[in-house]
Structure formats: structure tokens, C-alpha cells
Amino acid sequence: MRITYIFIFVFICSLGTGLAQQTPAPKQNNTISIVGATAHIGNGQVIENSILTFEEGKITAIGASGDVDPSGEIINAEGKHLYPGFIAANATLGLVEISAVRATDDEDEIGTMLPHIRSLIAYNAESKLIESMRPNGVLMGQIVPRGGRISGTSSIMQFDAWNWEDAVVKEDDALHINWPGSFSRGRWWAGEDPGIKPNEEYQQHLRGLTEFFNSSRAYLGGDRKIKNLPYLAMESVFDGDKKVFVHVDGEREIQDVIQFKKDQNLDELVIVGGYEAHKISDQLKENNISVLVTRAHSTPDNEDDDYDLPYKLAKLLHNEGVLVGLQSSGSMERMNTRNLPFYAGTTVAYGMDKEEALSLITSNVAKILGIDEFAGSLEEGKDATLFISEGDALDMRGNILDKAFIQGRELSLKSHQTELYERYKEKYESQSE
């Protein structure tokens, strides 16, 4: 019996080790210089044969060889490429582990107007999915709740932490609104006629949203004797401390969002999705509205759209002077977030300059999220969140990471996927001998 108990104990311990994420890296305790790499700054600049030095988690120097002297531990990256860490905007990483297991799903709460719901405290830093982002260079993300008309408040996390307190780099950065559609599709399973038809409740939904904003302002300007958490959560929106991200695709709807921004006197508003944003790009630029475009690896929504519209949408908006970033929401979005660099690579195949495409997942996204003071590019004074790749990181063939750092801490690039790769690689290599 004693042997049985010992076996069970060892099995449980080994199971916990197999399921847990790797131990987060310790703080940087020595100066490190990366020498000889082609440095892609993230803002359109490239430095050949570069030297980048960082200490205590911050970049202290970067320049071409001869302009900067290396110090501390030297990492020889000759013939390789150096990039800022990629940033996954509008992600649900850490909120859902297995979609079919309800206990692991924290992305959606019951209700309609939920500005007080915070993704921050639901974030699971030990998610296996988060661990699998890092080997592709995705090192940070904006973690966003889903559901409701107002789904809640996002926060921005780095992907090497013990818990959400360690992971957060910007707390409660934005409020997220799911804008209603002016058209609806018939739900055959509910007995409705199939096909697309006008949404007769569209104006009613808009009035409800406007009434909530107006009621929140009235409450905040009153005595507040009765605590109302949704209204209290709106204070930082009205003060301008929190951005507003509106998830919307249609041309008419985006025009209504622009008017809503003016009516509600909102300083910073971001369009998420923006499938038809290119049709009114001039209005977006005029109103200083940036766009996180729909996933590049998508098919057209309408039968008369260009077949390659999702591939070139970022370029169309960029050409008109709109600040653009990429995001990966949609079917199997958590798993597909690791493909973020390849979405940027696809925009290159459809006309985008390669360094401008890189900015779609680095400096542009950092500006849109409001973290460009410390993230998004390889510049002196910013966080040493970066990685070395053997080749072009926007190409599946070249995105092979050699080393990666978050705030100067060197990461493990192993994951469940890399372990399986090594396991089956050994199997087939032994069979071919």
C-alpha cells in the first residue's frame, strides 16, 4: 500500500510539472551587448552591423559598429536579425485555455454594459498558449474581454510572469465597445428567414449606448451616495485616462462611431476590425482615429469585394495617413495569435514596405495602445523587450528565434509545441538511418 501511495505522489508531481509553465526568468543582473546583427528598429529604420547594449532591463545604447562600444557580456549575432518584441493587440490570451471546458473560460461575463469588468484579474500567466507565443517573437499583448455591448476593460501584459501582478505593464488601458450592426443575418436555427436584412433594432441599440454614457456622466456629477460600479468605471474614460476601442466593421457603422466620438467628446478612440474603414479613411484621419485592422489571413466578407482586400487593407489605410496596427481576433484567435508576424509578412506580399509592415506589430501598435514611451522599438531608454532571429522574422522560413528577452530577462523559448517537434524529429531521424 505504501508503494502505491508513493507512486501516486510521484505521478501527481510529474503531472504538475508537465502542465505548469516554465519558471519566469530572473531579473537581469549584468550588462549585455548584442553585436553584429541587422537591427530592425521598429520605426522604419534599419541598422546594419549594429551594437545594442542593455542593463537593468533598459536599452542603454544602440548604433552601428564603430559608433557604439559594446560592454558586459557579448552576444555575437553576426548574420542574424534583431527585432523589438511583437505586440498582440486585442487578444484573449490567458482568459481561455480550452474553449470546450467552461471552467477555463473567463473571456465573457453576463450582462450588457460592463465597463467595470477587468481582464486583468482573470489573466492566467501560466497559460500554455501564452508560452507558445514566445518562440515566434510575440512577447506582449493587450488582453481584452469579450461579450456585451460594453465588454469591459483591457490591460497590457508581458508574457513571462508568475501571476497577473507581475505580468501587467499597463493597467486598465482601454474600454471596449461592441458596436451594433445596421444589418443582421437571419438565424435559421431560430426560425428566421436566411439572408441579410436591415437590423430594425439598430437605432434602439445606439440610443441605449448613448443613454448609458449620459447616465454615467450624470451619476459622476452627482452625490454618488449609492455605489454604481459600471458608472464609476466610466470616470477614467471621461477624464481621458482610458482610451475607447470600438469593435466595428461596416462603413455606415464607422461613420456613426465618428459622430459618437464627437457627441461624447472622447479624446482617443480606436477602431478594431474596420473591414470597410478604407472607404472613409479621410474621415478617420481628420478625426485622429487609428485602426487595428481585421485579421490579414481572412476571406472577403462580401461577394463584390476584392479577393485580396483583407491582405491589403492595412496598406490602403496606411497610404491615406491612418495609423494602423494588426490584430488576430476571429476563429481560433488564441492559437492564431502566434501567427501575428506572418500576418505582417502577408501585407508585404501585397505592397507594404517590409519595415513599415514590421511597425504594424511593433511601434504602431505601441502608439495605439499608449505604451510607446517604453515599448515598440529598439531605442535608448526603452525596455529591453527584444529577440534575435536567424532570418526574416516576418517569414515563416526565417522566424527562428535564437534568444529573446523581456525587460532584459532572457526567456526560455521552449514550449509544448517545441517539445513535440523535438520528439517526433528524433523519431523520424532514427527511422531514416
pLDDT higher than 90, residue 19: no
Give the model confidence (pLDDT) of 162-179 as tens digits. 999 999 999 999 999 999
Collect all residues with Cβ–Cβ distance below 8 Å to 228 and sequence separation of at least 6: 219
Judge whether 21-85+383-433 and 88-375 match in fold.
no
Domain 21-85+383-433 falls under CATH 2.30.40.10: yes
Q: pTM for the whole thing?
A: 0.91
Q: What is the DSSP letter of 190?
A: G
Q: Which residue has the cell 450592426?
A: 181
CB 91 within 8 A of CB 141: yes
Residue 326 Cα to chain centre, angstroms: 8
Question: Among residues of the chain, what percentage have pLDDT more than 70?
Answer: 94
If pLDDT is split at 50, 70 and 90, which confidence band does 103 have?
Answer: confident
Look at residue 332 and tell me whether its pLDDT is greater than 90. no
Q: Would you say residue 355 has pLDDT above 50?
A: yes
- What is the average per-residue pLDDT within 78-105? 92
Mean pLDDT of 142-160: 96
CATH of domain 88-375: 3.20.20.140
Strands 290-293 and 324-326: parallel
What are the residue ranges spanned by the domains of the chain?
A: 21-85+383-433, 88-375
As a whole number, mean pLDDT of residues 304-333 equals 94
Listed range (58-72, 137-151, 189-203, 381-395) with the worst mean pLDDT: 189-203
Q: Which residue has the higher pLDDT, 188 or 285?
A: 285
Q: What is the pLDDT of residue 15?
A: 41
pLDDT value for 164: 95
- For residue 8, what pLDDT band results from cuts at 50, 70 and 90? very low
Q: What percent of the chain has pLDDT over 90?
A: 78
Residue 193 pLDDT more than 80? no
- At 426, is the pLDDT very low, low, confident or very high (cuts 50, 70, 90)? confident
Q: Would you state the pLDDT for residue 4?
A: 52
Dihedral over Cα of 424, 425, 430, 432: its sign: positive
Using the structure block, give the residue that is written with the C-alpha cell 491589403: 312
Tell me: pLDDT of 11 over 60.
no
For the chain, percent helix, then strand, then coil, each to nearest 5?
Answer: 35, 25, 40
